[in-house]
Amino acid sequence: MTAPVIAIDGPSASGKGTVAERVARALGFHYLDSGALYRLVALAAQRGGIALDDVPGLARTAGAMQIEFREGRAWLSGEDVSEALRAEAVGVAASRVAAAPEVRACLLDRQRGFRAPPGLVADGRDMGSVVFPDAALKVFLTAGVEIRAQRRHKQLMEKGMYAKMPDVVEELRQRDDRDMKRTVAPLKHYPDAVFLDTTAISVDEAVASVLAEWRNRSGK
C-alpha cells in the first residue's frame, strides 16, 4: 500500500512547520518541509547569480541543484546550509521563487519522493491540493496576521535581527497576497481540508488536535 500522508498547509508564520514536525515525531513518520526546497532554490540562485525574475534560470537551478536532508539539516552541493536558509532575505526570495510555475513543476517529483513507509507529514502551501491530493488527512493551519507577525518578530529577535513590528506585519500581508493570487497552486482553504486556527491555542493543543483527527480517521 502507498504510505499515508498528512498534508498541513497554511500561510507564513502560522506555526505549520512546528506542528507538522511534532506530529511526524509523535507518529514516527517522515517529515517534509517543502518551504526548505524553495529556500534552497532561492539560495542556489543567489549564489549562482541568477536573478529572481529569470524564471528559466530558476527552473534550471531547481532541476540541477544537489540537495540532501540529514538529521534535520539541509545540504546544498555538499555544504550544510541550514543556517543560511533561515535568513529573512532567503525567505522573501523563496516566496517569489515559489510563484514560478516552472520551478514548482521541477520540484514536484522531488517532493513526492519523500513519501515512504510508515508515512509522511508534509507542510507547505499546496501539499494537500497539488503535491499529495490523495493525502489521508489534509489540514489548513492558520492564525491572525497580527499573531503571526508577533511570532515572526520573536523569531527574528532571537536570531539577533532587528525588525519593526509594522514592517513585519506588512511583509506578511505581501507574502499572503502573493501566495493567494499566484496562478499556480494558490494558497487557500480547500473544502476537504480540516481548518485549524491557532490564533488562540498553543502549539501543544494544535499538535493534539491534528493527532486526534488522524487517529479518528486511521483508527490507530
List, in order, residues 6 or more apart from 77 with CB less than 8 Å away.
44, 65, 66
Cα 43 to chain centroid distance, Å, stands at 16
pTM of the model: 0.86
User: Pairing between strand 30-33 and 194-197?
Assistant: unpaired
- Binding positions for ATP: 10-18
- Binding positions: 10-18
Spell out the per-residue pLDDT of the chain, length 220, in tens: 589 999 999 998 898 999 999 999 999 999 999 989 999 999 999 999 999 999 999 999 999 999 988 777 899 999 999 989 988 789 889 988 988 999 999 999 999 999 999 999 999 989 999 999 999 999 999 999 889 998 888 877 776 777 788 888 888 888 888 878 877 777 888 889 999 999 999 999 999 999 999 999 888 7
CA 109 to CA 147: how far, in whole Å? 34
CA 189 to CA 142: how far, in whole Å? 10
Q: Is 9 exposed, middle or buried (0-12, 13-18, 19+ CB in 10 A)?
A: buried
Sorted by where each starts, the structural domains of the chain and their CATH numbers stand as 5-214 (3.40.50.300)
What is the torsional sign of CA 195, 155, 104, 68? negative
* Cβ proximity of 3 and 117 under 8 Å: yes
